[in-house]
Each structure stands twice: as C-alpha cells, then as structure tokens.
Amino acid sequence: MNSLQNLLSPVKIKTMELPNRVVLPPMGTNLGNADGTVSEANLAYLKRMARGGAGLIITEVSAVYPSGSAINCELGVYDDRFIPGLKRLADVAHAAGSKIALQLHHAGRESLHLLQEKKAIAPSAIRSLVFGLTPREMTREEIQEIIAAFGAAARRAREAGFDAVEVHGAHGYLLTQFLSSLSNQRADEYGGTLANRSRFMLEVLEEVRRRVGEDFPISLRISVEECIKGGYTIEDINPLLPELVRAGADIIHASLGTHGSPAGITSAPIEYEPGFNVWRAKKVKEVVDVPVIAVGRFTDPNLADEVIARKEADLVAFGRQYLADPDFLTKAREGRHEDIRVCLACNQGCIERLILGEGNIRCAINPETGQELIYPSGPAAVRRRVWVVGAGPGGLTAAYEAARLGHKVTLFEKEETTGGQLRFVCKAPHKSIYGDWGTWLTSQVKKLGVTLHTGTKVTERMIEEGKPDAVILATGGEKIIPDIPGIDLRMVSDAWQILSGEVDPREHAVVIGGGLIGMETADFLLKRGAQVTLIEVLKRSPVLKITSHGYMLHTRLREGNCKLLFNTAIRRIEENSITILSDGEEQILSPVDQVIIAAGLKPRDDLRKTLQARGIPHFIIGDALQPRRIMEATEEGARAARNLS
Ligand SMILES: Cc1cc2nc3c(=O)[nH]c(=O)nc-3n(C[C@H](O)[C@H](O)[C@H](O)COP(=O)(O)OP(=O)(O)OC[C@H]3O[C@@H](n4cnc5c(N)ncnc54)[C@H](O)[C@@H]3O)c2cc1C
Ligand SMILES: Cc1cc2nc3c(=O)[nH]c(=O)nc-3n(C[C@H](O)[C@H](O)[C@H](O)COP(=O)(O)O)c2cc1C
C-alpha cells in the first residue's frame, strides 16, 4: 500500500506551515448572502469540506470591488464590514487543522449579471465569448482603483485571520483579460506587448505585497495556457513567471483555460485523464523556485503522491473530487480506497449548474454537497421498514441514504444486475466510469446492510403481502416507440439494444432522436465504423455545446461525419430507406440498413396506483417521476430518504 508519505508531508511557505500538500482549490458555490456576506450555508459547506483534511483550503472567489463579481451571491471583501463573516470562515478551517487562503477576484467582463446591468469593465471593450455582451473599457483611473482594491482586500483577509491570499489571475477574469491579447487591445502602457499586458498583474501583486507585509504568503493562480485559438501558451508565459514571483507571488497555482476554452477545460471533462495537466506544473517549476500547485482531474491520492515524489509539483489540488467525496483523503489514509466515491467529471451539479444559472453548488453523485444545512446525519427519529423499487442511480442513492439514517431497507431490482440505465451509459465512449460508480454504490448499500434482491420484479401483490412502512419508487422510464409506418421492420431496434450489444451495428445507420441518448448512440456507432445519420424533430440539439460533455460529443459527431438533421421528422421506414420531412419537403434517405430509436422515455410508475389505493406512504423519484438526469434521480432519492420519518 502506498503510504502517501509525499502527499502527507508538511511544507512551510513563509509564515504558513501546511500539515500536508493537499489543496482544496477555490470553487464558487453561490451559497453566500446576496449582499456578499458569509452565510450559514457557506460555513456549513466549508466545515464539511474542511473535515476532509486538506493542508490548504483556498476559498471561492471573493470580490475585491463592488461591481467585480462573477456570480450573484459571490462573497465580498471590498469593505471592512465583511471582515467578521470572513473571520468565521477562517475559524472553521483552523478548527479542522487546515490553513486557509482567501481568493481575491475581479471578474472584469466575465460576469453575465454585470454585463446585463451594463456595469462590466475590462481592459478593452471586447465582447465576452461566452456571454456575447460587451464591457466598457477601463479608464486609467479605474485601473489604479482596482489595483488598490486588491491591496485593501488582502489587508482585510489578513485581519480576518486568513493564513494567505490567492490572487485570481486565471480563467479569463480581469487579470487574464489584461494578460491576453484576445481581450486586451489597449494603446497605453497596459496593452500591446506581453510586458505591457502583464503590468496590471505585476502591479496588483506589488500592491498586495505592500499591504500584507513581507512575511505573509501570496499565491498567484494563473492559467499558464489559455487553451483557446489565438490565446497565449505556456511558452509565452514561462519567461514572465520569475517576474511575477519577484512582484510578490510565493506560490504559483498552475491552472489552465479561459472563458470559452473548448469543453471548459478548466474543469476538464471525463475525456481528460486524471492529472492530465501536471506537465504544465512541471514546466512552471523549471523557471521558478517557489512552490507550485498542480491541478486538473485529480481523484486518486496515490497519483498525487507520485507527482510530488517525482517533483513535478509541490502541492496537488483536488477540486471536484472534494465535492464528490469530502472524505476521500481520510479514506485513502486509512487504506479504504474502495470506499472513495470517485468524481465523474460530469460537471452537472457543480460548474455547469453555476454557469447555466440553475442554482447553488451541488454534486450529481453526492447529495450532501451544497445542502449541508439540511443533510441529516442520522439516525432517523423513527426507523421504518422501507422498500426501494429499482436499483438505478435514484434507487441506489435512496437505499444508501435511507440505510445511512438507520432505516431497514430492502432494495429490489427486476434485472439480474444493478445500475439501471448506468448499464447502458457505461457502454458509450469515455463513460465506463459511470458503470464503476454504479458498482461502487451497490457495494456501499450492501455494506450498510441493505437487503438486495436482484432479478425480482416488484408486483402489486408483493406490496400487498409485504406491507412495507414506506416505498420509494425508482423504477425509471419506459422507452417511447414513435408511431411511424415501418417501425415494426426487423431493421429497427433501439439505443439500449445497440449499446448493450444485443443488436450488432450495421453500416448505414439512422438514429431517431437527437437527445443525449441518441447522440451517445451515434458516438458509439461511429466508433464502430458505421455511417450515421441522426434525426431530431427539434430545431436545435437539446445537448448544449456550452456543457463540457455536450461540446465533446458534438465535436466527435462532427469529426466522425455524422449527418445531423434537425427540424426533421420521419414519415416512414422501408427496407433500405427512410422518408423524412425536412423544411416542408419529403426526401428519401438511402441506403439505410439500420434504424435505431432513441426517442426518449416516459415514466414507468405503474405501481403508483397500488400504493395510493393501499394508503402506503410512498415517494416517486428520478426518471419514474419524469425522465431527466442522474442529478435529479440522486437528489430526489436522498430527499425521499430524508422524508421517511
Ligand atoms: C446511453 C445513455 C446515456 C446517458 N447519459 C447520461 C449522462 O451523461 N448524464 C445524466 O445525467 N444522465 C444520463 N443518462 C440518463 C440517466 O441514466 C437516467 O436519468 C438515470 O439512470 C435515471 O435513474 P433512475 O434511477 O431514476 O432510473 P433507471 O436508471 O432507469 O433505473 C430504474 C431501475 O428500476 C428497475 N425497475 C423497474 N421496474 C421495476 C420493478 N417493478 N421492480 C424492480 N425493479 C424495477 C429497472 O430495471 C431499472 O434498473 C443517460 C442514459 C442513457 C441510456
Ligand atoms: C463549481 C466550481 C467552481 C469553481 N470556482 C472557482 C473559483 O471560484 N476560482 C477559481 O480559481 N477556480 C474555480 N474553479 C476551478 C477549480 O478550482 C479547479 O481548478 C477545477 O475544477 C479543476 O480541478 P478539478 O479537476 O480537481 O476539479 C471552480 C470549479 C468548479 C467545479
């Protein structure tokens, strides 16, 4: 067993003595109060994360200027009135034995609400790639004002008891906007050459140093590459790094990407290997002699330990892995690697929820994250005899949560194996990790003492005879079969039959339905050499390119020459051809030797009436309520378990 001796070794950075080299990197939660003060939800979230034993916690973005926030409920540090709340945050970290840095942030143009309110400022009046709106160019007075604001914010952080500050110079926010020629076309000494474009960052660091004193550690988070067409590269940035160290940086936090980088590479999707970004940290270490933090898809402490042993980085950040399982480090320390809930890098509950304005931070596979204030630790006031019907993501999560709270849980699955739709999800390219998660959940429910019956379809009669105290119905969805002439032909199958291997792919395939399941199936077929046409009745793909997985899927389908026909309906299917209606015109597509239905699901909730008629308390969750995503299934499963007593 790896002892994690490198990862768990202490390190001293100026006055800050870190007990180990694990970093909880900054992650915006949107849990703050609307006025920028620290909320009870912020404190509860941080307390839970801090129990995870990171040596260094870096808080989420905190606005140094009133109109500098990226998210609505961003924490503020632009006034002394924020100090008491921030002090409570620092105390939470210290009570857990961690050190804590406050991340100092100005969004510049990358703030939807500031752009909409016409308050967004930036080095130049250049449109935000992501939000499509244009900021106002900063005056030179404003530049000085913001530099001073960074310094004042750092002084407040120190007064609030933080052990360090981190200047957010990454991800396309204001400091990166100055650094990048894509967003900085100023004609004064803050624009033009790289030396000029870096002036703002250098002056911010110098001012922060002036305000916090020589002994206080300053981390600089920088995207060492923009990872966007025409953006700067690590070769451009490396010569600048020693300058940044001279100006005040005691730590280089080597992140990557900017707003608009393909696939949101900053929080990279599953296609990127764990630790894929370490080579950049290593390159940074070649030119600076201060500690360097590596970040990017770390989920396994053993890998982080090796990175440090090889001296490729001095510290390693685990972002989304903390959201998926705040206890992963403790489990690894105790040699319980098999108990770690591994992040799927799906981004559904975390970064994309924030970007799409869906609410506060969550995690698709950990229902506690972002809900710490209402997440019960158990045991439940009254222990119930609970049946959970269906062992997909929703049912498995409900069983796990109910058992955790002390209920006596029996979980039924009609198939021989658990996982529900995950049994098919994991067959799609790059998604085998979803199957691993299903296996993990199954092993965890067993460990918690849940009685599992696979190959057992729950019927009306079983419920009548078994008389459970409560039932959680997690029976998923039924396939929708569209009413099209020819749908009964032998050449027609469905996405699930293809993904499971029940039906072999043929050469010329048409997939009916351009939602996620249809696109995944097309991706699967392309990988097996098929020529694929995807037909979708909607005008646009429901799979958003703005999401990381959506971007990757669209790219692979385009590169695989998949023909995507939107705003198109199928009229009839015949041997060797199909007739479609597109833009009011009928067309015949041929040759076609396989038609695959992926037209969505409808709720499978036939036991609902029995439960209602018998007056048995019940909850319908996940796809059985309405076919949606994993996030909703797990969330509703946990909520049902919480509401059992
Ligand atoms: C190819 C594919 C890719 C997908 N990709 C994603 C993705 O990337 N992200 C995402 O969020 N979602 C994705 N989904 C959707 C996601 O898998 C579902 O939303 C999720 O599985 C719903 O979980 P659930 O537990 O509600 O239902 P299900 O997963 O459908 O599980 C229901 C279970 O109940 C069992 N059951 C039904 N009736 C009975 C009964 N009477 N007795 C006992 N057992 C019964 C079924 O056999 C099944 O195992 C994908 C789906 C597919 C098919
Ligand atoms: C929900 C969420 C919010 C984030 N907010 C911030 C932030 O406030 N400041 C920042 O510098 N990076 C932010 N990031 C980026 C992370 O700090 C981290 O660099 C990224 O997730 C990659 O690390 P990981 O693969 O370990 O998750 C955020 C990421 C996520 C998922």
pLDDT tops 80 at residue 371: yes
Domain range for 563 is 492-599
pLDDT digits (tens, 9 = 90+) for 33-76: 999 999 999 999 999 999 999 999 999 999 999 999 998 899 99
Q: Is the CB of 14 under 6 A from ligand 1?
A: no
Residue 50 burial class via C-beta count within 10 angstroms: exposed 0-12, middle 13-18, buried 19 and up: buried
Other C-beta atoms closer than 10 Å to the C-beta of 97 total 13
Residue 38 included in any domain? yes
Cα-based distances in Å from 58 to 167, 266, 321: 11, 16, 15
Q: Is the CB of 55 under 6 A from ligand 1?
A: no
Task: Please give the distance, rounded to the nearest whole angstrom, from the Cα atom of residue 326 to the centre of ligand 1.
Answer: 26
Ligand 2 atom 5, closest CA: 27
In angstroms, rounded to a whole number, what is the distance separating the alpha carbons of residues 543 and 256? 25
Residue at token pair 């790289």: 194
Residue 486 included in any domain? no
Mutation to probe ligand 1, out of 596, 630, 636, 639 (largest number of atoms < 8 A from CB): 630
Bridge partners (DSSP) of residue 477 are: 603
In angstroms, rounded to a whole number, what is the distance separating the alpha carbons of residues 64 and 79? 8
Q: Is the CB of 520 under 6 A from ligand 1?
A: yes
Ligand with the closest atom to the CA of 423: 1
Mutation to probe ligand 2, out of 49, 266, 273 (largest number of atoms < 8 A from CB): 266
Ligand 2 atom 24, closest CA: 319
CATH number of the domain that residue 337 is part of:
3.20.20.70
pLDDT digits (tens, 9 = 90+) for 158-216: 999 999 999 999 999 999 999 999 999 999 999 999 999 999 999 999 999 999 999 99
In angstroms, rounded to a whole number, what is the distance separating the alpha carbons of residues 73 and 37? 9
Cα dihedral across residues 315, 321, 322, 327: positive or negative: negative
Contacts of 462 (CB under 8 A, 6+ apart): none
pLDDT digits (tens, 9 = 90+) for 126-170: 999 989 999 999 999 999 999 999 999 999 999 999 999 999 999
Residue 406 included in any domain? yes
Residue 318's pLDDT is 98
Q: Is the CB of 632 under 6 A from ligand 1?
A: no
pLDDT digits (tens, 9 = 90+) for 296-315: 999 999 999 999 999 999 99
pLDDT digits (tens, 9 = 90+) for 459-492: 999 999 999 999 999 999 999 999 999 999 999 9
Mutation to probe ligand 2, out of 22, 77, 351, 354 (largest number of atoms < 8 A from CB): 351
Ligand 1 atom 15, closest CA: 629
Question: Do 280 and 238 share a structural domain?
Answer: yes
In angstroms, rounded to a whole number, what is the distance separating the alpha carbons of residues 224 and 227? 9
Residue 583's pLDDT is 85
What is the pLDDT of the chain when averaged over all its residues? 97
Residue 484 included in any domain? no
Residue 351 included in any domain? no
Note whether 206 and 200 are within 8 A (CB): no
Residue 362 included in any domain? no
The arithmetic mean of pLDDT across residues 538-548, rounded, is 93
pLDDT tops 60 at residue 1: no
- What are the residue numbers of the active site? 173
Other C-beta atoms closer than 10 Å to the C-beta of 259 total 24
Question: Do 408 and 538 share a structural domain?
Answer: no
Domains: count for the chain: 3
Bridge partners (DSSP) of residue 124 are: none
- Given the CA of residue 628, which atom of ligand 1 is nearest to it? 19
Question: Do 294 and 230 share a structural domain?
Answer: yes
Question: Do 450 and 506 share a structural domain?
Answer: no
Q: Is the CB of 329 under 6 A from ligand 1?
A: no
Ligand 2 atom 13, closest CA: 27
Task: Please give the distance, rounded to the nearest whole angstrom, from the Cα atom of residue 86 to the centre of ligand 1.
Answer: 42
Question: Do 561 and 497 share a structural domain?
Answer: yes
Question: Do 86 and 52 share a structural domain?
Answer: yes
Q: Is the CB of 640 under 6 A from ligand 1?
A: no
Residue 353 included in any domain? no
Locate 645 and state its tokens: 């007593």
